[in-house]
Structure 1
Amino acid sequence: MDMLSCDLDRTNEIPLYEQLYLYIKREIIEGRLHYQTKLPSKRKLADFLEISQNTVEAAYEQLTSEGYLEVLPRKGYFVMASEDLEYVGKLDVPIKTDNVKNESFRYHFHPSIIDTAGFPFQQWRKYAKNVMDERNSDLLLLGEPQGEFELRTEIADYLYHARGVKCSPEQIVLGAGIEILLQQLVLLWDAKTKYGVEDPGYHLIPRIMKTYGRDLYPLQVDNSGVKVSEIARAGIDVVYVTPSRHFPYGTILSVNRRNKLLNWAAEADGRYIIEDDYDSEYRYSGKSIPSLQSMDQKGKVIYMGSFSKSLMPSIRISYMVLPHQLMERFRSELSFNNSSVSRMDQHILAQFMRHGDFGKHLNRMRKIYRRKLEKITEMLKHYADKIQVIGENSGLHIVLVVQNGLDETLLVKKAETANIRVYPLSQYTFEKKYEGPPQIILGFAGIPEEDLDDAITSLMKSWGI
């Protein structure tokens, strides 16, 4: 055949390779692509559809693995007869997701992407080799429900010296992501518990609360952080905050509001504060902001942290520090849950921390990210008449307030036309009621320093600035 006329929707959340895969699959099932029909080469189809060869290859390989196509060496891809297939079922409707797609962009500004080039593979490999040994065969068995004591000990020591968090290893619970730990917390409280969360904020919280049928109240944020006055008026029992660096604006919860928040929690039994210490490792000016937990005298703060930004997202190791009274309830009500984190990964990380490599890695990455942030903010000064920058003192992303007459949907689409992926603020708001010029979240960590100049220039050009 000459070519496949597939209408790809570049504004759709479904990746391009998946759209192409679904199109070809449908053509085969419905009999429009016949047995032994040769498909266009990857290069020709990529040129025709104006997509990358990697996108075409991903679609072809998926179809081959499912038996819809066969590949003949030096000849190409050919359609299998539908009657020769064991079973052809109804096409699944793809589930939309907000996760980072494996879609290829020239520049990807997602706030969760890190600089992988800075990862200390040699040191990590050394500790992995130590752990992956017959002498540690017991690690093949289930471990402690709270996670390995060795890693919890290292985390407790790190939190005390880096964040002022006062806790023992016995108070720490490990989980495969903040989401897993949040779900465990929800199970500790009554179904009538009302939750408050910053808006805009961490976008997975509403999904978790909706799944469990819990009431969620969005709390407004200003230059001093979350508005504590709203909490009491709304009758909230548990509030989720990012006091050291609000996501996504980067604001710091003021000392006055911290004290008010702690006093609010201490006024009644059943009130708690979940402190997500988001991006606290990456502050580039002034001293590190003390954790809210370090100020807590009444056991009202649940401290949460993760190694996703400080080490790697794929390791899926997060932790929470529970006050003593909640820790007792956790042991009595949830200790039947086995730890969701690989024991071997836990021991590798424990050795990595114990021998000082984690601290060295943080210091090195902090310098790299600071240079990137300084470079990107300096470049954006050239566009100050159209672009305002928020949150430029810490973290791995900034927020751009864009004033060029385009709305956020057009800004995202025009960036994608230039093969650049950016994320609108509305993706992280719950009520979507914010007013004013559109705002774009720009994660810069994953873009090589030498490419930042072209990345920003290309983005501004796509927006007509």
Structure 2
Amino acid sequence: MLTYSFEHMQGKSLYEHLYRCIRQDILSGKLSPGEKLPSKRALARNLGISVVTVEGAYNQLLAEGYCESKPRRGFFVLPVPVSASLVQAVVGEMRSAEDAFQQHKPVIDLTASRMQAADFPFATWSRLMRQTLAGNAEELLAPSPGAGILELRQAIAGHLQSFRGLNVSPEQIVMGAGTEYLYTLLIQFFGRDKKYCLEDPGYERIRQIYRANGADYACIGLDGQGICLPELRAAGAEILHISPSHHFPTGIVMPVSRRYDLLGWVAEQAGRYIIEDDYDSEFRLQGRPIPTLMESDRHDRVIYMNTFSKSLTPTIRISYMVLPPALTEPFRQKMGCYSCTVANFEQYTLARFIGEGYFEKHINRMRTTYRRRREKFMELLQASALREYVTLIEHGSGLHLLLRLAVNMPDKVLQEKLRAAGVRIRALGEYYDGEVPASADHVFVLNYANLEERAMKLALDILGQSLSVGGRFEAL
């Protein structure tokens, strides 16, 4: 009979904790393919929980393809066709995290938004890939169109229509292995002599891509509503690269008035365009998703860009952009010599994942998961000794928060103390290209998406210890 502990559930519900325990046993081989799971009543009685809880866990395993239900016989473990190295990586990651906590030698990385292995739908993805290998053998070996296979572009067009309200055709969509590759294509398409303008502060890799491609670019400062229009005009901008729905790292959501100001600016002069980076629009946790800039564009001047790195995992490396109709044919003529950089295997699998409704289900599940993690972090922060010295800056969207610390300690000193204690964190000032304003002092960017409750607690404890001297905080 299966036996699991419910003492350390890390804020999860009973059914989710049970589901994860059984799934880990399946992935590790402790439960073999074809093995019958205990009946719902028997397992509930053995664990001292309700039948409804067991039923919820079994239904989740059933939905993700880890087991099957045979009428009047029960639930049976299904083979999960993932590589041995992948299973070892998943189980190894869980064990490594457990060992780190047990030994009190944490390495808590608050600088990157990585998905937990347990959050990725391995069973569904592997089943769809198996179906792809069986049903698309000839297509898998055929050259992919430069913009990507039609089936995937059709699936993305359908998703954008239902989720973002964008009515686009598959011909407008271009696939690429990461947004960095797509930025490079746009620079080559428009030309290096164009004046590109980026947000400051901003994601430093974007600056690196423009610099590496020899593009003429400038970084434009932000106010409380987004990029500053007077500075944009003064810079002589022609191509503007922004993330209006959720700016990284400040979290600013650009209001409609500033959006229309920018649409007015881009329409004033031929050759001006806006690249709208919608990198984590799926994870607006309060209210409806913010409408896209492209949706309001009436002059064919906005290029929409998104990635599956946030919604699925960065390791899949699949991104896409949507060209305005007027640019579709010129882009094809000039850039059609490039082959698609995403493997056919992954393109066809992702097309199935989206087309059969699994992507929407995954997003809904992860939105709930991330909302709970965010709420848990806020709850733990309010219960900690730090609460009087921390201001939380958040906009109900995305997978990161800003913390403003009311302490008398240079940011770099605090970062070094935290690093020595096993916590990595970045200051907001590190994301600036130009002069760092005083308003950015003592503000830190915290990525919470991959944190379990005990990691949150430990990070807050270490932060509190690093800020205190002689048992008291170094308050301003």
TM over 0.5, shorter chain = yes
Shift of 1:184: 0.2
1:417 to 416, 420, 425: 420
Aligned to 2:456: 452
Shift of 1:346: 0.7
User: CA–CA distance in 2 between the matches of 1:286 and 1:256?
Assistant: 19
CA contact (8 A) 1:111 1:396 kept: no
Letter in 2 for 1:419: G
User: CA–CA distance in 2 between the matches of 1:329 and 1:367?
Assistant: 42
In the superposition, the TM-score normalised over structure 1's length comes to 0.75
User: CA–CA distance in 2 between the matches of 1:165 and 1:188?
Assistant: 24
Aligned to 1:210: 211
SS of the residue 2:240 aligns to: strand
| Equivalent residue pairs, number | 363
Shift of 1:135: 5.1
CA contact (8 A) 1:415 1:463 kept: no
Aligned to 2:446: 442
Aligned to 2:345: 344
Letter in 2 for 1:296: D
Question: 1:16-415, aligned counterparts within 5 Å?
Answer: 106-133=107-134, 136-381=137-382, 382=384, 383-415=386-418
SS of the residue 2:404 aligns to: strand
Shift of 1:363: 0.5
Moved more, 308-317 or 184-193: 184-193
SS of the residue 1:274 aligns to: strand
User: CA–CA distance in 2 between the matches of 1:392 and 1:260?
Assistant: 22
Shift of 1:370: 0.3
Change (3 A) 1:230 1:344: same
User: CA–CA distance in 1 between the matches of 2:359 and 2:227?
Assistant: 32
Moved more, 258-267 or 199-208: 199-208
Letter in 2 for 1:171: Q
SS of the residue 1:132 aligns to: helix
SS of the residue 1:412 aligns to: helix
Letter in 1 for 2:201: P
Shift of 1:392: 4.5
Shift of 1:188: 1.0
Letter in 2 for 1:420: V
When the two chains are superposed, the root-mean-square deviation of aligned CA atoms in Å is: 1.7
- Give per-residue Cα distances to partners, 1:236-293, cap 9 Å, x unaligned: 0011111100111111111110001001101111100000012111111122110111
Aligned to 1:63: none
User: CA–CA distance in 1 between the matches of 2:191 and 2:309?
Assistant: 30
CA contact (8 A) 2:252 2:395 kept: no
CA contact (8 A) 1:111 1:397 kept: no
SS of the residue 1:281 aligns to: helix
Moved more, 139-148 or 419-428: 419-428
2:465 to 430, 438, 461: 461
Shift of 1:110: 2.4
Shift of 1:134: 7.5
CA contact (8 A) 1:376 1:456 kept: no
- Give per-residue Cα distances to partners, 1:86-124, cap 9 Å, x unaligned: xxxxxxxxxxxxxxxxxx952111233123311111111
CA contact (8 A) 1:114 1:312 kept: yes
- Give per-residue Cα distances to partners, 1:10-55, cap 9 Å, x unaligned: xxxxxxxxxxxxxxxxxxxxxxxxxxxxxxxxxxxxxxxxxxxx9x
Structure 1 gap ranges (5+): 1-53, 55-103
User: CA–CA distance in 1 between the matches of 2:321 and 2:205?
Assistant: 17
User: CA–CA distance in 2 between the matches of 1:461 and 1:112?
Assistant: 24
Shift of 1:350: 0.6
Letter in 1 for 2:463: L
Letter in 2 for 1:449: E
Change (3 A) 1:135 1:117: closer
% identity of equivalent residues: 38
2:430 to 408, 427, 430: 427
- Give per-residue Cα distances to partners, 1:153-206, cap 9 Å, x unaligned: 111111111112221100000001110000000001133211111111121122
User: CA–CA distance in 1 between the matches of 2:115 and 2:329?
Assistant: 36
User: CA–CA distance in 1 between the matches of 2:354 and 2:220?
Assistant: 36
Letter in 1 for 2:206: I
CA contact (8 A) 2:113 2:448 kept: no
- Give per-residue Cα distances to partners, 1:367-402, cap 9 Å, x unaligned: 110011111123333424322222241111111122
Aligned to 1:3: none
User: CA–CA distance in 2 between the matches of 1:388 and 1:215?
Assistant: 38
Shift of 1:440: 1.4
CA contact (8 A) 1:246 1:278 kept: no
CA contact (8 A) 2:113 2:447 kept: yes
Change (3 A) 1:385 1:147: same
CA contact (8 A) 2:407 2:442 kept: no
User: CA–CA distance in 2 between the matches of 1:290 and 1:189?
Assistant: 26
User: CA–CA distance in 1 between the matches of 2:428 and 2:182?
Assistant: 25
CA contact (8 A) 2:245 2:290 kept: yes
CA contact (8 A) 2:253 2:395 kept: no
CA contact (8 A) 1:115 1:448 kept: no
Aligned to 1:41: none
Letter in 1 for 2:245: S
Shift of 1:429: 1.5
User: CA–CA distance in 1 between the matches of 2:130 and 2:316?
Assistant: 17
User: CA–CA distance in 2 between the matches of 1:208 and 1:303?
Assistant: 18
Shift of 1:213: 2.1
- Give per-residue Cα distances to partners, 1:126-171, cap 9 Å, x unaligned: 1011112385143123211001111111111111111122211000
User: CA–CA distance in 1 between the matches of 2:370 and 2:284?
Assistant: 10
SS of the residue 2:388 aligns to: coil
Structure 2 gap ranges (5+): 1-95, 97-104
In the superposition, the TM-score normalised over structure 2's length comes to 0.73
User: CA–CA distance in 2 between the matches of 1:237 and 1:146?
Assistant: 25
